[in-house]
Each structure stands twice: as C-alpha cells, then as structure tokens.
Structure 1
Amino acid sequence: MPSFADFTVLDYLSNIIDILLVWFVIYKLIMVIRGTKAVQILTGIFVIIVVRTLSGFLGFNTLSWMMEQAITWGFLAIIIIFQPELRRALEQLGRGRLFSRTGLQEVEEQERIVEAIVKAINYMAKRRIGALVTVERETGMGDYIETGIAINSTISSELLINIFIPNTPLHDGAVIIQKQNIAAAACYLPLSESPFISKELGTRHRAALGISEVTDAITIIVSEETGSISITKNGELHRDLSPDDFKNLLGTELMASVKNVSSTRWSWRVKKQNG
C-alpha cells in the first residue's frame, strides 16, 4: 500500500480536481431535481439504505433481505420511471448542453419570458383583471406547485391572460413559473403575517409578500380594484409601478440569473426601446 511519501504534487492536484468535479456534478444534479418529486424518491432511497444497514448490523435477517431486494430492483425501477428524463439528459450530453446552455441561448430565452410576462401584465392592468404571478428562482417551489392545477406549458402572454380571465376555473390563485414553463395555476401561497402591511392591501398582496418571505421568488400582482402593478421580492413590496418601471425592475431581477452579458444586453435593449 503506497504511503503519503509516495504521492507527488501532481497526484495531490489530480485528487483535488477529481473531488471538485464530483462535487460539481452532485451540485448540478441537486439543482436539476430541487423542488421536484425526485427529491422525495431520493429521500425514500436514503431511508431504505439506512434501514438495510441497521437491519444487517442488528441481525434482522428477513428485513435485511427485503431491503436488499428493494435496492437491487429499485435501481431498475428508477431507470424505468425516469426514462424520459434520462433520454433527454443523454440527448443534451450529445449536444454538449447537459449542465449549461450557451450564454446567448439563456439571454434570448429569458428575454422572451420577460416580454411575455410584461405584455400579459400590462394587458390585464389596463382592464383591471386581477392577477398573481410568481417566478421561481433558486428556492424550489414544488410544494406550492402541487397545491394548484398542473399546466406545464410554454410561457406565452396569451395563456397568462386567459388563465386570469374572471370567473374561469383557474383565475383564483397564483400562477407559478418554473424555469421556462408555466408549471401550475390556481396555486395557494402562504399569507404574510407581518403587522406592518397596510390594511388596504388584499389577499393577493399578502400572498405575494408571504411567498417572498420564505423563498427568493419574485411575484407580480395586478390589482383588480385599481389596475395597479406591484412586485414583491425578499419580503419587500414595490407598489403602483408604472409600465416602464415594472418592465425595468422585472427585467433586472430575472436577467440577473443569467450571465453578466445578459444584464448589459437587457439594459441596452430597454434604453433603445424607451428612447
């Protein structure tokens, strides 16, 4: 067995890079599955492994055998259950896009999303159609998505507007946007219990503040009484925004999630359009 004296500086450097790459892959996988039901499956797998270890240590042979079978056949079941996701990951690997997209693609997609949201919100504000739209960022919102009606559709201004038309099945509640899709509608958000909230604010504003206190999501509110546009983020409420201020604030917040070049390009586009 080699001793520490046998290791060279190159060996140490190679091991450090190896460990960093493993942690990078694990981190990316966690980012992919956060806020999804895959987290629950991984939790179940972890529980089975713990029970298998304890049962073997304590001599519970039958339980140990059952857990062994669950582990042996469980991985095959996971491959079958996640077959579409695995195929998509392999396709992205073949295109060199497993862990990241090009900066230009991210910028263009994020700009499209911002434009769609801005168009829908301005349309509803002019007609005083109440709306509540939450955009997921780093903190997963899987628990809140499950309280609503699954949609899983590409974001478009037309779809957002149709969802909030009064007296339709999905208009009451929040729309949650996850990545590049409208994940669900008619979702329940936690109401803020802050005593400093103005009494004139309704349930939509309290829900928007509530979700901003427990996640890093950005939430847009359209008042059906006044048609005013507001945004909440990090427990803060930005009320009665003008169309230009709303577009600038939303663009700044959402474009911050992509590369720095995206923020520069977005600012340039906003100045060009306003000019």
Structure 2
Amino acid sequence: MLPFGFLEFGLKDFIETLIIAMVIVLLYRWIRGSFAVPVVIGLVIVFAINAAVSLFGLTTINFILRRLLDVGILAVIIIFQPEIRKLLYNIGQNTSLYKFFDRGGSYSVIDEVIEAVKSLSRSKTGALIVFAKGATLNDLVDKGVELDASVSSELLLTIFNRGTPLHDGAVIIRDNKIVAASAYLPISQNPNISSVFGTRHRAALGISEVNDVLVIVVSEETGRVSIAQNGALTSGMTIQKLRYEMQKHLGEKSDEDPEMSSFRQSELESS
C-alpha cells in the first residue's frame, strides 16, 4: 500500500486504474473518426455544467439537467446504434470457429477475384465486392438478387458490365460462393470522408463500419482499386497488396510481404 496524501494506493487500485484506462482507450479508438466524438464532448460539457450547478446549490437548474440526462441515456443509445451494434458484433464473434468450419478453396476465389479486378480496373468499370467472412449479411442478401454461384472472373465481369441489370450494386461473397448481386449497402455517415470519394466508396465504408467484412472498390472514374475494412478506406491498391489483404482477411497464409517484394508491383498495369 503506497500513501498518496490522504489516499492509499495499492495493487488492487493500480489494476482497477489500468483496466479503466484501457477501457477509455478502447472507447476512444471505437468512436474515433465518427460523429460520435462531438456527441461525447457535448455530454461531458453537460455533466460538467450539472456538477457546477450542484456545487452552487442551484436546485431548480440541477433538477432540469438531471431530467435531461435521464432522457439523454436513451438518446445516446439511439445515436450510437451503429457503433453499439459493431461493438457487440465484434465481442460476440469467434473468428476461430469460422476458420475451423471454413470449407476452404479461398485461394482459387482470390485468384478469380484478382483477375476480375484487373479487367475492371483497366476498363474503368465500377465495382463493389464484399467478402462477408463470418458476417452473414442476410438483410443485404434478401434485398439484392440472391445467387448461389461459384466465384469466377467471367461471372464477376458479366455482373458488373454496364449493360446488365445487376451492375448497379454490390456482389456479396460468402463461404467462397457468390450469394447475392445488386445488393445495396448502407452509406457511411462519417463526416471525415474526403469529398473525392463518391457513393460507391461511401457504401463500402458504411458496411465495413458495422460488419467484419472486406470490401473491394473499383472506381468508375479512375479505375483505381481501393479496399474498405473496419471503417477505414485504403485507396490506390496494387494487385500484390490487394492479394495480401484478401489472404489475410480470409485466413489464408501468405509467405510474401507486399512491402518487401517488388516483382509483382506492376501486375495491375502490365497484365
């Protein structure tokens, strides 16, 4: 037990402080970059005002603020609904079980998607490809056109062809099968997204903010390839880096470090 003035600080107190600090850091990482940050700041200000009012004995104002805070708890749950959903999903998901029951064949799926992405990028054909992995995304599958097809580059190119009725939407791949096409994804409400990104990229971010998915985006304007994952967007992907990220997401081992090897860096441009 260590004395700090009139306080006694022991091992138990240290552990509790460490746990609280870790929770605060995790909460910050959870809400960082979203509209939740100014909401939290607003709540802190309200609590500080309430404490000051209580200190000066302003009972009427204190009563009003307490009633507002009581209602505010419900409001916070409603406002943070997407973030809460993502947090509970991540807690409840056991990725090791998904890997155990995975039927395999991810390498061939990756190769087929890579071939399709190269062609789509060269022709500047817009595309959205969602790897659902553990997430079922049944709500999105039901709203799209349900399929049960093997993944092939030819099928993906046909779906995203501008002349087909399925091109305007996302393809969802789950358990190494194309389970839906023309699926419409929720648009991200993150105010920090750059204005250079259009609806397709915002939709990729939106679904990645609330689900454990990897989303591949091909820009219709530039042909640039991007990925969205965990609410973050990475643009200007090389095919080598894209392959690496797909292997990592699908649980396949990759012996090649995309930052150390350079012989395939121009695969997208030269193929």
TM-score of the pair, normalised by structure 2:
0.57
1:11 paired residue number: none
1:267 lines up with 2:255 in the alignment = yes
- The DSSP-based 3-state class of the residue aligned with 2:118 is helix
1:214 equivalent in alignment to 2:214: no
1:160 aligns with 2:148: no
Of the three residues 182, 188, 193, the one matched with 1:192 is: 188
Structure 2, unpaired ranges of 5+:
1-98, 266-271
5+ residue gaps, structure 1: 1-98, 257-261
Q: In structure 1, which of residues 155, 169, 173 is the aligned counterpart of residue 169 of structure 2?
A: 173
AA matched with 2:191: P
Whole-angstrom distance in 2 between the partners of 1:196 and 1:100:
37
Q: Percent identity between the aligned chains? A: 36
Distance 1:177 1:159, change over 3 A: same
Give the alignment partner of residue 246 of structure 2, picking from 230, 241, 250: 250
Change (3 A) 1:178 1:168: same
For residues 200 and 272 of structure 1, the distance between their equivalents in structure 2, rounded to whole angstroms, comes to: 29
Deviation string, structure 1 residues 205-261 (Cα, Å, up to 9, x no partner): 00000000010111000001000000000001010112222222222222x2xxxxx
Q: Counterpart of 2:112 in structure 1: which amino acid?
A: A
In structure 2, C-alpha distance between the alignment counterparts of 1:178 and 1:125, rounded to whole Å: 23
**TM-score with structure 1 setting the length:** 0.56
Greater share of helix: 1
- Within a 5 Å distance, the mapping from 1:1-275 to structure 2 comes to 106=104, 109-254=105-250, 256=251, 262-263=252-253, 266-267=254-255, 274=264
Aligned residues: 165
* 1:100 Cα offset (Å): 5.5
Please give the secondary structure, in 2, of the residue aligned with 1:221.
Answer: strand
TM-superposed deviation, 1:274 = 4.2
- Letter of the 1:238 counterpart: T
- Three-state SS of the structure 1 residue aligned to 2:143 is coil
Give the 3 Å change call, closer, same or farther, for CA 273–159 of structure 1 in structure 2.
farther
Per-residue CA deviation, residues 18-39 of structure 1 (Å, 9 max, x unaligned), is: xxxxxxxxxxxxxxxxxxxxxx
